[in-house]
Amino acid sequence: MAQSPMGKVVPLGDHPRAKARLSKKESADMLAGCRDLARERMARALSGMLDRVEDDLFDLAEKAPDREAQNAYLDARAQARDKRVAIEATFGQHFVQFFDRKVRGEPALEAPQPDSAELSLVGDEALEETIAVREMSRKLDASCEGELIALSQRMGFLLEKPDLADDANPFSPATICAALKDACDQIEAGFKVRMTLLHQFEQYVEADLQRIYHDLNSHLVERSILPDVRPGVRRAGVCMVRIDFNRLRFLVIDDNAHMRRILRTLLHGFGTREVYEAEDGAAGLEAFTHYMPDIVITDWAMPIFDGLELTQMIRQPGANSNPYVPIIMLTGHSEKKRVIASRDAGVTEFLAKPISAKALYQRILNIVANPRPFIRTKSYFGPDRRRNVNPNYAGPERRKGGKADIIKQQPLLDKAKAAV
């Protein structure tokens, strides 16, 4: 679908410029021209980033806490200089490969969204790297959304795929980040140094990618490819909230050390710095009282007392400092009766295993961006179990606990909303 400057949606086939379809050869030539323009612009940007990263690595070496870390940063700096030609060549080659695969409609070479079973087969370093690249791509999606939406519509026109999603766009941030990750792999230093290099690139790539997307849109407008589409028009239903995970404190409670590691790695990949852990319900309650987390993620089945009992203890007004804390319940069993039992205990969100980064992120986004008020009745205290409320309903109260007190808290969004 294409969008007019006023946000009205019209079929691409009815767009005034879409009447004159391009021939397959004209579309292919246009796509190749855009690809070459992007490659030239990105090569120039990467060269500038490498110049700045050399200075960054030197500064990191000066601030390193010990000789081993200092030597690692200096080694990475030396290799970034020695391998510069290989880094730039790898980025250019892999960008073209990833771009051409998407144009042909072939599956991306990126690793799929892993579930917990798959994660058990992946080393900690590979897992962290996969999550870091995915999170970098997500951040670029959000920051470049205006130009990216317009570019996706134009790519959809050229590819004759009017409903082309942003992630299927050959120029998507996922394409750029995958090529950048492969370029960083040319560094033969340890994993932590490669990740440091990737994170340093992340600081600079946003501004460069914004300009590149703008140049590509201008290039296509000059050639009369949907000239009336303007950047900055958001699709209906797209959440406009960006979360600064660094401002949130998490408590993870699970008796399975491997699952705690997965959750910790995912949260760190989102940008969280404070993640505390406990291995059973009793330790979890103690950690909850001590650390005062913003969000609790707990497993259902645990020794001493389980996640359901823990939730009920937390939801006792006056028994602890924050009975309103959002709670995400994890379980390998997603039967309806378990979902209902969790809801009735006061759980905020329910997440069935195997988990994925996308599913966990969505639960946290719901908690932060769409908080539900708390309800107090004779038999229940917790987040409103009615996710959809009709404000015009004027009939009798039908809650199980009778008359309800509605309690609104200061939303986490005030704390966690990222500056745009």
Torsion of CA 175, 178, 181, 183, to 10 degrees: -70
Residues 89 and 8 in one domain: yes
Asked whether residue 395 is assigned to any structural domain, the reply reads no
Both 198 and 271 in one domain: the answer is no
Q: Evaluate whether residue 325 is within a structural domain.
A: yes
Domain boundary among 189, 222, 255: 222
* Distance in angstroms (rounded) separating the CA atoms of residues 3 and 163: 12
Percent of the chain scoring above 70 in pLDDT: 82
Q: Do 210 and 260 fall into the same domain?
A: no
Residue 337, pLDDT score: 84
Structure tokens given for 148 = 């990216």
Single out the residue of 229, 173, 152 nearest to residue 42, CA to CA: 173
Verify that 197 and 262 share a domain, yes or no: no
Half-sphere exposure of 164 (CA within 13 A, CB side): 26
The per-residue pLDDT for range 331-374, each reduced to its tens digit, is: 887 778 888 888 889 999 988 888 878 788 888 988 888 888 88
Same domain, 289 and 334: yes
Residues 60 and 205 in one domain: yes
Inside any domain, residue 227: no
Residues 217 and 250 in one domain: no
Inter-residue contact 278 to 284 (CB < 8 Å): yes
Least confident of 37-46, 89-98, 109-118: 109-118
Range of the domain at 274: 245-384+400-416
Comparing 264 with 134, which gets the higher pLDDT? 264
Which range, of 48-62, 122-136, 183-197, 322-336, averages the lowest pLDDT? 122-136
Do 217 and 252 lie in a common domain?
A: no
Of these ranges, 31-45, 225-239, 369-383, the one predicted with the greatest mean pLDDT is: 31-45
Report yes or no on 306 lying in a domain.
yes
| 30 lies in the same domain as 75 | yes
Shared-domain flag, residues 183 and 253: no
d(CA 212, CA 156): 18
- Grouping H, G, I as helix, E, B as strand and the rest as coil, residue 318 is coil
- Amino acid sitting at position 95: F
Contacting residues for 378 by C-beta, under 8 A, at least 6 apart: 401, 402
How confident is the model at residue 218, as a pLDDT? 92
Residue 253 inside a domain? The answer is yes
Which CATH number characterizes residue 376's domain?
Answer: 3.40.50.2300
> Looking at the domain assignment, is residue 237 inside a domain?
no
What six digits make up the tokens of 263?
């959750």
Mean pLDDT of the chain: 80
Quick check: is 229 in a domain?
Answer: no
Prediction pTM value: 0.59
- Whether residue 272 sits in one domain with residue 203: no
Residues 126, 88 share a domain? yes
How do residues 393-409 score in pLDDT, each as one tens digit?
A: 444 555 554 566 777 77
Local confidence band at 382 (pLDDT 50, 70, 90 cut-offs): confident
Domain presence at residue 238: no
If one counts the domains in the chain, the total is: 2
